């Protein structure tokens, strides 16, 4: 294979060889190469197949705007599709494959699509695949899915890690070329905290390809010196391989650092990508300018590339794009390319200069064709020749590479991310950044035409940024330039007249000139419509090379100026960012924080099966004796608790300490019932409403001291209630002396329930627990283990059994739970989980958020009498007495059971009168909770039913609309077990 | 990703540390006020294009309720104050 | 009749960070980070009326007396913390002295302290915290509540390269894991509870 590697030059390490494969072919390159430069060096120009027409494509650029050379790199969970070969740093063992072709890149069946091209023009997807409609699901959609996309993603887990980080600085410099380095030096020397970021591995921007002299040294050396100075300053951070992809609110910049994408086997101690959120007081956008392609026939043949890319491959990578190169240009920059090629010994066949006159400074060998234009190219999968039209007529030229320069578009994206629209500058034929606060544009991004101008504006920007922060700054450039040239393109060439063949505008989405003019003819000439109609600018390259040309073509077709056409909206991300980087460490088990109960260890060692409840892990049931189904365990736990005793972890319920002289008044205002006269040492059940009168949460509040209350909430609404209480205390009634402290984590809280609970508890509690001394709803501090530990004991019951809740400081939770299990062993104590807890509370008609579903009032649940009639104000009072919320026909709480004990029914079923056909109008209500009751031997449920409390004993239909199932049922008292609550008061 | 809000107690923090409740304009009616006032307070909200005063809770920080005055279009924040300062009225 | 418990069983407190990953982890060479599970001694949450200057003075005096510093968590709220266990009776005595100006919620078990130190501590914590952690913006003695990852925590700087992070007990093990993860690239020496 003949090599296109130049014998000298390039910032590559020629002493080292890196082996890699492309489509299975073994090749070599050097450290410093990108995949693209290494492929070119090996004479491989065909790198991909275009999206729609499957045309053979080669690399067009040497950087981030690359639309064609998209490859898949890596294998297994590390597979990364749609990677730009121009941005992939070569490493030993890299495996790359081309995309969007079958069976191979050379012989792609997809190229037959070109025969369909009359049917694949602008808006084709609005005009095809429409009829017959029946074919959509089985034929059209699968076909489109297979055809869509370029690379294929892997379904294997990504073995690497990602992370996110924040950074704060005074000045963020985006881009490390001539302007960026000048800005960074100026600001850093003034004492500002500077971060300078560059998307490439090596900082220096276009200076790395530049051959002019700066301060008497080659440009890339001047860049290295500046970087060395910056690297040595403690107030400077240099981030290479880092793309600043967006400018967001509040001066936050998003950036992604490719920490280890360039190594074969990443170090597991470091992430492969890091997402930065950079808070920068000031920023300098020194992102340079993007060279534009020229729109002529066959401008997509492999071998046609950007003139600047030809220069970069030669100067930075020591690779020539061809052996006989031509250049087609509208501005002076191509002459520097020609000079550099000739110096490297490459033949430059011609410089086709679209302008009328030849620059007098050209002293090279190449023939200049003034006023010329390339109208077509020839060759199969590689360029073989070009057709040139000029004043002298038509001529063809044999070349194997063509560098084109249609002008330079400032890279202004970030300046437009916050809503500003770019401004067309007719003199420069360029869209310039709008005036924005906090971001100063400099260099090529500002429309500067020469290297000197760029450095001056960079230095000025750095000084401006530093001065805005109150620092004194001295503008600093890298030095005087020798051999500077101007990239001025006053007369843009939006497309070549009389081109032959397809003239591409958007390479990645295969949009060509005819698509855009057709768009205008069909009424979609507005820039927003033309974009969607043709898909110009909608590919992964986001129109970096196509947007401006498209605007120019639309302008010409419509007979208006580019300013009048305008641009579409710029949005982050500037270049694609992986989901991995955006997720950071938040994947798999780390997707959300894990919150553990202090009794987690105790539950685990007792064999608990856990269930996620929000961020908590709660013990659901505790299988034993070879039980294989949850029902076996839950039934046993319920029966055992009601016969002997059970121990349940209730630590997850919210606990809030309330202090202050006005604590009682505060509680009065947040609950529907009265709390002002709650005696010290007593607990009281409370209902909390929302301001719309619906129940928000329920819980128990105890008075532990004169001005000290202890509130419990449900697990699910612990955070919500705390926030609500804080709103009331701070925003509504700041005059009240109320202090709130979150205490959920301080206490390990366990329920000890069952007929034997008292005697078991008495073995560890020092105080007398007889009914006389510690009645129902008692709430006191108690002494345990002969004074060795203090806890709080509450005689409250969710299960309906004689029960207590014991709270001990969290660290002691496990020891105390163990002690209780030991103390109750002879009495048959067993742990029980939230499933059994759920069954028992349904048996007792106790409500949870199944019933408190956001649409129920206290009256709906039988708590109308709980609502105080004397309190002047409480949350929800204003709306609770609305007619609609007092309507006696609102569904109300009732119990429901099946007529046939062997039948079951599900929560969510509707209640219908016997014999009535199901319909929403006929629905009398619905089942809110249901469970199998091992005590009763059949399924039971709670339901909200119209006139429910008056319909005990009525036969109804329980209708499951999802499954179309009917169960004959009976409405009844919602308290199924111990309806007179005798067990509670033992 | 962005939208830094300067809590008067804690300093500049990203919006993720906060919970947003809604318009801070409507005042809670006095006890006994007519139903119409309550209805407006609970349900009726303007949706201004421009300046809005909003209740934000610094749930990830000091847990103080704040009133953030901001522009709903540009996201510019004009002021942030402790909610307890506005209750007197 | 009540029986005073004579149960002959050891009642020991299990540290929240018992069993977490410890040791010398991550990048080799000199460890850039040191993580410590600090002793679960006492931690009192002091609650005063926001803006009450006299109360602030009392809080300061208490901290001094207890041989520690105030950790400001919110307007009118602080933690005072230390390594020794404080009996409930002592907490009650302190509370009686400080009421009504300051109410006390004993959070000795409700919060867990983690020490994070080393030359790379700012870079490591910046992966979890959005506040500017530079010495200039976050000087010695400064403390604040903020998100550590996705959970609220308190961070206080004790010296140029040492912070203490205080978090709800339920999230302590999770935070420890996140701190380890963030420290691997710097090399970390992680010490669990004594």
Domains of chain A: 1-155 (3.10.20.440), 163-289+410-482 (3.50.50.60), 293-406 (3.50.50.60), 502-574 (1.10.10.1100), 600-650+746-770+781-841 (3.30.1360.120), 655-742 (3.30.70.1400), 888-986 (2.40.30.110)
Structure tokens at B2: 């962005």
- Report the pLDDT value the prediction gives residue B1, as an integer from 0 to 100: 57
CB A404 within 8 A of CB A289: no
Task: Encode pLDDT of A760-790 as tens digits.
Answer: 999 999 999 999 999 999 999 999 999 999 9
Q: Give me the residue from A726, A734, A877 closest to B63, CB to CB.
A: A726
Whether residues B1 and A248 touch (CB distance < 8 A) is answered with yes
Domain locations in chain C as residue ranges: 21-40+110-194, 41-108
* A443 neighbors A433 (Cβ within 8 angstroms): no
Residues A773, A677: contact at Cβ < 8 Å?
Answer: no
pLDDT digit string (tens) for A623-649?
A: 998 999 999 999 999 999 999 999 999
Which residues are B67's β-sheet partners?
A: B55, B81
Specify the number of domains making up chain B: 1
Nearest to C130 among B13, B59, B62 (CB): B13
Q: What is the mean pLDDT of residues A272-278?
A: 98
Average pLDDT over residues C151-159: 98
Are the beta carbons of C107 and C40 closer than 8 angstroms?
Answer: no
Would the CB atoms of B3 and A251 count as touching at under 8 Å?
no
Query: Which residue range(s) make up the domain with B53?
Result: 4-26+34-85
Chain A interface includes C40 (CB < 8 A) = yes
String of DSSP letters for A759-791:
HHHHTTB-S--STTTS-TTBEEEEEETTTTEEE
Report d(CA A444, CA A680) in Å as an integer: 76
Which residue, among C132, C144, C146, C129, has the nearest Cα to A279 in the 3D structure? Answer: C132
| Phi and psi based region of residue C161 (left: phi greater than 0; alpha: psi -120 to 50; beta: remaining) | alpha
Looking at residue A182, its pLDDT comes to: 98
- Say yes or no: A767 contacts chain C, CB-CB below 8 A: yes
User: How far from A613 is each of A569, A597, A602, A674, A717, CA to CA, in Å?
Assistant: 42, 12, 18, 31, 11
* CATH code for the domain in which residue B64 is found: 3.30.2270.10
CA angle C137, C139, C145 (to 5 degrees): 75
Query: What separation in angstroms does the CA of B59 have from each of A614, A686, A697, A724, A746?
Result: 17, 25, 20, 11, 19
Using a pLDDT cut of 70, give the percent of chain A over it.
100
Question: B61: which 2 tokens?
Answer: 């920080």
C-beta of residue A162 within 8 angstroms of C-beta of residue A271: yes
CA angle A367, A372, A374 (to 5 degrees): 100
Can you tell me the mean pLDDT for A792-805?
A: 96
Of A355, A290, A301, the C-alpha closest to A328 is A355
**Other residues' Cβ atoms within 10 Å of the Cβ of residue A607:** 14
Instruction: Tell me how close the Cα of A666 comes to any Cα of chain B, in angstroms.
Output: 15
CA atoms of A622 and A638, how far apart (whole Å): 12
* CA pair distance A408, A307, nearest whole angstrom: 11
Examine the pLDDT at C3 and tell me if it is beyond 70: no
| Cis bond before residue A103 (omega within 30° of 0) | yes
Contact A314/A323 with Cβ under 8 angstroms?
no
pLDDT range class, residue A97, cuts 50, 70, 90: very high
DSSP classification of residue A485: -
Give per-residue pLDDT as tens, B49-61: 999 999 999 999 9
pLDDT, one tens digit per residue, over A830-851 is 999 999 999 999 999 999 999 9
Strand partners, C36: C115, C191
Over 70: is that where the pLDDT of B2 sits?
no
Q: How many CB pairs under 8 A join A and B?
A: 81
Q: What is the mean pLDDT of residues A522-539?
A: 96
Considering only CB atoms, which chain A residues are within 8 Å of B4?
Answer: 249-252, 279
Please, are residues A924 and A945 in contact by the beta-carbon 8 Å criterion? yes
CA distance A791 to A777: 16
Contact A714, A627 (CB under 8 A): no
- Orientation angle between helical segments A547-558 and A527-534, nearest 10 degrees: 120
Unique residue bearing structure tokens 């039934």: A635
- ipTM of model: 0.98
Looking at the complex, does the CB of residue A279 fall below 8 Å from at least one CB of chain C? Answer: yes
Compare A118 and A66 and report the one with higher pLDDT: A66
Tell whether B57 is within 8 A of chain A (Cβ).
Answer: yes
Residue A103 — pLDDT band, cuts 50, 70, 90?
Answer: confident
**Do the beta carbons of residue A293 and residue A315 sit within 8 Å?**
no
The mean per-residue pLDDT over the stretch A161-172 comes to: 98
| Cβ-based interface (< 8 Å): residues of C facing B | 50, 73-75, 77, 130-132, 144-147, 150, 152
- In this predicted structure, what is the pLDDT of residue C102? 97
Asked if the Cβ–Cβ distance from B64 to A730 is below 8 Å, we say: yes
- Å between A278 CA and nearest CA of chain B: 9
Top residue of B7, B61, B63 to mutate, by most chain C CBs within 10 Å, is B61
pLDDT of residue B87: 58
User: Would you place residue A102 in the very low, low, confident or very high pLDDT band (cuts 50, 70, 90)?
Assistant: confident
In tens, the pLDDT along A846-897 reads 999 999 999 999 999 999 999 999 999 999 999 999 999 999 999 999 999 9
Residue in B3, B12, B18, B28 to test binding to A, most A beta-carbons within 10 Å: B28
pLDDT of residue A75: 93
Give the pLDDT band (50/70/90) at residue C1.
Answer: very low
- Portion of chain A with pLDDT greater than 90, in percent: 92
State yes or no: pLDDT of A127 exceeds 80: no
For C37, the token pair is 């599970």
pLDDT tens for residues C32-66? 999 999 999 999 999 999 889 999 999 999 999 99
Between CA A634 and CA A933 the distance in angstroms is: 10
The position carrying tokens 């070109």 is A114
Find the helix packing angle between A513-521 and A527-534, rounded to 10°.
120
Answer yes or no: are the C-beta atoms of A505 and A547 closer than 8 Å: no
Residue A705 half-sphere exposure, CB side, CA atoms within 13 Å? 17
| Segment A190-238, tens digit of pLDDT | 999 999 999 999 999 999 999 999 999 999 999 999 999 999 999 999 9
The whole-number pLDDT of residue A1 equals 38
C47: part of which helix (H) or strand (E)? strand C42-48
Task: State how beta strands A401-405 and A304-306 pair.
Answer: parallel
Q: What is the pLDDT of residue A298?
A: 97
- The answer, for A659 touching chain C at a CB cutoff of 8 Å, is yes
Whether the Cβ atoms of residue A868 and residue A673 lie closer than 8 Å to each other: yes
Confidence bin at C11 (pLDDT 50/70/90): very high
Domain C21-40+110-194 sits in CATH at 3.30.1360.120
Q: pLDDT tens digits for A450-478?
A: 999 999 999 999 999 999 999 999 999 99
- Per-chain mean pLDDT for chain A: 95
Cα end-to-end span (Å), chain B: 37
In SS3 terms, A229-273 reads as HHHHCCCEEEECCEEEEEEEHHHEEEEEECCCCCCCCCCCCCCCE
Q: Which residues pair with A326 in a beta bridge?
A: A350, A402
In the prediction, which pLDDT does A644 show?
Answer: 98
Cα separation, A931 vs A635, in Å, equals: 10
Evaluate the CA torsion angle A72, A77, A78, A80 in order and state its sign: positive
Model confidence band, residue A113 (pLDDT cutoffs 50, 70, 90): confident
Q: Do A878 and B75 touch (CB under 8 A)?
A: no
Contacts of A50 (CB under 8 A, 6+ apart): A57, A68, A100, A300, A507, A508, A510
Residues B39, A220: Cα–Cα separation, whole Å: 70
- What residues contact residue C2 under an 8 Å CB cut-off, 6+ apart? A762, A765, A766, A767, A768, A769, A770, A773
Q: Which residues of A touch C178 (CB under 8 A)?
A: 585, 590
All partners of chain C with 3 or more CB pairs under 8 angstroms: A, B
Cα dist. A117→A92, A141, A878, A888, C138 in Å?
41, 20, 69, 70, 63
Q: Is the pLDDT of residue A690 over 50?
A: yes
Gap between the Cα atoms of A504 and A495, Å rounded: 10
Of A585, A740, A763, the CB nearest to C178: A585
pLDDT (mean) for A289-305: 98
- Provide CATH code, domain C41-108: 3.30.70
φ/ψ (deg, to 5) at A117 = -55, -30
Residue numbers of C between 123 and 152 with CB closer than 8 Å to A: 123, 126-127, 129-130, 132, 134, 137, 149-151
Residues in contact with A414: Cβ distance below 8 Å, sequence separation at least 6, in sequence order: A174, A244, A246, A247, A253, A285, A287, A439, A574
As given in the structure block, the two tokens for residue A613 are: 């409840």
């Amino acid at each position: 294979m003949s090599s296109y590697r130049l014998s000298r030059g390039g910032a590559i390490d020629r002493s080292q060889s890196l082996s890699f494969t492309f489509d299975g072919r073994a090749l070599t390159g050097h450290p410093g190469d990108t995949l693209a430069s290494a492929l070119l060096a090996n004479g491989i120009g065909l790198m991909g197949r275009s999206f729609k027409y499957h045309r053979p494509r080669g690399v067009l650029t040497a950087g981030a705007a690359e639309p064609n050379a998209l490859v898949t790199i890596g294998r297994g969970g590390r597979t990364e599709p749609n990677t730009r070969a121009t941005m992939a740093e070569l490493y030993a063992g890299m495996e790359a494959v081309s995309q969007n072709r079958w069976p191979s890149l050379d012989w792609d069946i997809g190229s037959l699509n070109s025969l369909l091209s009359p049917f694949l023009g602008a808006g084709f997807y609005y005009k095809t695949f429409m009829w017959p409609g029946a074919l959509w699901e089985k034929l059209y959609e699968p076909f489109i899915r297979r055809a869509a996309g370029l690379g294929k993603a892997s379904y294997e887990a990504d073995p690497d890690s990602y992370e996110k980080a924040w950074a704060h600085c005074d000045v963020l410099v985006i881009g490390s070329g001539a302007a960026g380095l000048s800005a960074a030096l100026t600001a850093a020397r003034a004492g500002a905290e500077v971060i300078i970021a560059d998307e490439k591995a090596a900082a220096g921007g276009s200076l790395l390809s530049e051959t002019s002299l700066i301060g008497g040294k080659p440009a890339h050396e001047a860049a290295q010196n500046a970087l060395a100075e910056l690297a040595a300053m403690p107030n400077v951070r240099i981030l290479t391989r880092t793309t600043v992809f967006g400018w967001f609110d509040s001066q936050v910049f998003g950036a992604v650092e490719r920490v280890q994408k360039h190594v074969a086997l990443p170090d597991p101690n470091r992430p492969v990508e890091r997402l930065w959120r950079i808070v920068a007081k000031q920023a300098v956008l020194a992102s340079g300018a993007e060279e534009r392609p020229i729109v002529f026939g066959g401008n997509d043949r492999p071998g046609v590339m950007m003139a600047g890319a030809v220069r970069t491959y030669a100067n930075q990578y020591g690779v020539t794009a061809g052996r006989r190169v031509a250049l087609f240009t509208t501005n002076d920059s191509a002459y520097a390319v020609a000079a550099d090629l000739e110096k490297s010994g490459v033949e430059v066949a011609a410089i086709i200069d679209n302008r009328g006159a030849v620059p007098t400074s050209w002293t090279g060998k190449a023939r200049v064709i003034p006023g010329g234009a390339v109208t077509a190219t020839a060759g199969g999968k590689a360029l073989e020749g070009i057709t040139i039209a000029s004043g002298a007529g038509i001529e063809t030229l044999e070349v194997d590479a063509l560098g084109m320069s249609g002008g330079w578009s400032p890279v202004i994206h970030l300046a437009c991310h916050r809503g500003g629209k770019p401004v067309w500058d007719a003199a420069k034929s360029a869209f310039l950044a709008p005036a924005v606060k906090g971001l100063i544009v400099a260099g090529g991004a500002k429309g500067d035409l020469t290297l000197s101008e760029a450095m001056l504006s960079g230095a000025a920007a750095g000084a401006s940024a530093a001065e805005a922060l109150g620092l004194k700054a001295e503008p600093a450039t890298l030095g005087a330039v020798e051999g500077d040239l101007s990239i001025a393109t006053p007369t843009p060439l939006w497309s070549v007249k009389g081109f032959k063949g397809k003239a591409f505008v958007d390479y990645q989405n295969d949009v060509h000139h005819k698509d855009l003019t057709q768009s205008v003819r069909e009424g979609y000439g507005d820039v927003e419509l033309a974009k969607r109609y043709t898909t110009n600018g909608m590919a992964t390259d986001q129109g970096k090379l196509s947007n401006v040309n498209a605007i120019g073509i639309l302008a010409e077709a419509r007979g208006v100026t580019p300013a009048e056409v305008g641009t579409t909206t710029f949005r982050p991300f500037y270049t694609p960012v992986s989901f991995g980087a955006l997720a950071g460490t938040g994947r798999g088990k780390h997707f959300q924080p894990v919150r553990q109960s202090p009794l987690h260890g105790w539950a685990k060692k007792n064999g608990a099966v856990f269930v996620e409840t929000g961020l908590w892990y709660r013990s659901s049931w505790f299988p034993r004796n070879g039980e294989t189904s949850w029902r076996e365990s839950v039934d046993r736990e319920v029966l055992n608790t009601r016969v002997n005793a059970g121990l349940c972890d209730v630590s997850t319920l919210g606990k809030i300490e309330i202090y202050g002289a006005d604590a009682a008044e505060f509680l009065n205002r947040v609950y529907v019932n009265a709390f002002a006269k709650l005696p010290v040492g007593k607990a009281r059940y409370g209902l909390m409403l929302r301001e719309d009168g619906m129940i928000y949460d329920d819980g128990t509040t105890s008075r532990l001291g004169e001005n000290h209350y202890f509130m419990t909430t449900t697990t699910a609404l612990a955070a919500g209630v705390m926030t609500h209480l804080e709103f009331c205390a701070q925003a509504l009634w700041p005059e009240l002396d109320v202090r709130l402290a979150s205490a959920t984590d301080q206490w390990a809280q366990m329920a000890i329930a069952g007929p034997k609970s008292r005697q078991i508890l008495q073995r560890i509690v020092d105080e007398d627990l007889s009914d006389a001394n510690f009645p129902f709803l008692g709430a006191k501090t108690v002494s345990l283990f002969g004074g060795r530990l203090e806890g709080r004991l509450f005689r409250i019951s969710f299960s309906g059994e004689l029960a207590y809740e014991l709270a001990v400081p969290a660290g002691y939770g496990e020891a105390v739970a163990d002690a209780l299990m030991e103390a109750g062993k002879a009495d048959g104590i067993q742990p029980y989980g939230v499933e059994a807890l759920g069954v028992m509370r349904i048996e007792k008609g106790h409500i949870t958020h199944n019933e408190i579903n956001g649409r129920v009032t206290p009256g709906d649940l039988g708590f109308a009498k709980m609502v105080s009639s004397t309190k002047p104000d409480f949350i929800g009072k204003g709306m609770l007495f609305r007619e609609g919320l007092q309507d006696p026909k609102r569904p109300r709480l009732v119990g429901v059971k099946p007529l046939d004990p062997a039948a079951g029914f599900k929560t969510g079923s509707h209640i219908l009168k016997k014999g009535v056909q199901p319909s929403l109008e006929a629905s009398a209500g619905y089942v809110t909770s249901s469970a199998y009751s091992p005590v009763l031997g059949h399924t039971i449920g709670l339901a909200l039913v119209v006139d429910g409390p008056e319909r005990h004993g009525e036969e109804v239909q329980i209708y499951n609309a999802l499954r179309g199932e009917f169960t004959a049922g009976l409405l009844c008292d919602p308290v199924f077990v111990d309806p007179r609550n005798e067990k509670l008061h033992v | 990703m962005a939208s830094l809000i300067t809590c008067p107690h804690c300093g500049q923090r990203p919006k993720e540390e906060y919970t947003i409740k809604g318009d801070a304009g409507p005042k809670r009616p006095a006890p006994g006020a007519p139903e119409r006032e309550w209805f407006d307070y609970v349900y009726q909200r303007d949706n201004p294009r421009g300046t809005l005063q909003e209740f934000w809770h610094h749930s990830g920080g000091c847990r103080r309720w704040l009133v953030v005055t901001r522009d709903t279009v540009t996201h510019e924040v004009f002021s942030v104050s402790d909610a307890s300062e506005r209750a007197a009225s | 009749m009540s029986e005073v418990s004579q149960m002959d069983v050891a009642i020991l407190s299990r540290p929240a960070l018992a069993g977490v990953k410890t040791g010398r982890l991550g990048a080799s060479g000199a460890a850039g980070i040191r993580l410590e599970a600090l002793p679960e001694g006492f931690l009192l949450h002091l609650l005063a009326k926001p803006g009450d200057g006299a109360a602030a003075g009392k809080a300061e005096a208490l901290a001094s007396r207890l041989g520690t510093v105030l950790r400001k968590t919110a307007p009118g709220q602080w933690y005072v913390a230390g390594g020794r266990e404080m009996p409930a009776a002592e907490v009650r005595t302190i509370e009686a002295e400080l009421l009504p100006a300051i109410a006390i919620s004993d959070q000795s078990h409700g919060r867990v302290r983690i020490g994070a130190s080393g030359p790379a501590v700012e870079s490591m914590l910046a992966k979890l915290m959005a506040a500017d952690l530079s010495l200039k913006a976050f000087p010695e003695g400064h403390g604040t509540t903020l998100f550590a990852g996705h959970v609220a925590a308190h961070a206080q700087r004790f010296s140029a390269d040492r912070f203490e992070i205080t978090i709800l007990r339920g999230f302590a093990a999770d935070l420890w894991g996140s701190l380890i993860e963030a420290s691997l690239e710097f090399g970390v020496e992680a010490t669990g509870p004594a």
